Amino acid sequence: MITFILVSHSQKISDGIVDMITQMVPSQDVKVISAGGTEDGGIGTDPMRIQAYIEDNAMSERIYLFADIGSSIMSIEMVLELIDESLKQKCVYLDAPIVEGAFIAAVQAMVDPSHDSILREVNKLKSDQVES
């Protein structure tokens, strides 16, 4: 199982991305989780919820995290400092646009779930954006 956690300041944004990916990438081996907004439904991020999602998916082969803007990245970094080292080894923050990056990574995980292939496709997306 490959898990993707989408960290956004808006629950609606991360829910929408999860909905799109799960409809377009129907795979039992790919799990996509929405970690958007705050506990009370407001705008922001909730590091404790991100940590809980990571810990709940500790059996995943790899856990990839995507973020929308600045402080969501800081939330991910903070959580990665707090979790157990063995679990941290499974976690990878992918610095790519949250919609396109998560979609491409999930599609690639369905085709070839190897870490190298997922990184290659996400990095290709980033280099394509620079060239445009």
SS3 readout for 39-62: CCCCCCCCHHHHHHHHHHCCCCCE
Domain total of the chain: 1
Q: How many CA atoms lie within 13 A of 70 on its CB side?
A: 0
The confidence score (pLDDT) of residue 44 equals 94
Decide: 21 and 31 in contact? Cβ < 8 Å.
Answer: no
- From CA 66, how far away is CA 86, in angstroms rounded? 20
Q: Which of 8, 9, 67, 101 is flagged as catalytic?
A: 9
Could you tell me the two tokens for 112? 């070839």
Is 9 an active-site residue? Answer: yes
Q: What is the pLDDT tens value at each position of the chain, 132 positions in all?
A: 999 999 999 999 999 999 999 999 888 999 999 999 998 889 999 999 999 999 999 999 999 999 999 899 999 999 999 999 999 999 999 999 999 999 999 999 999 999 999 999 999 987 766 555
Taking CA atoms, 17 is separated from 20, 58, 81, 87, 107, in Å, by 5, 22, 26, 25, 13
The CATH number that applies at residue 42 is: 3.40.50.510
Range of the domain at 96: 2-131
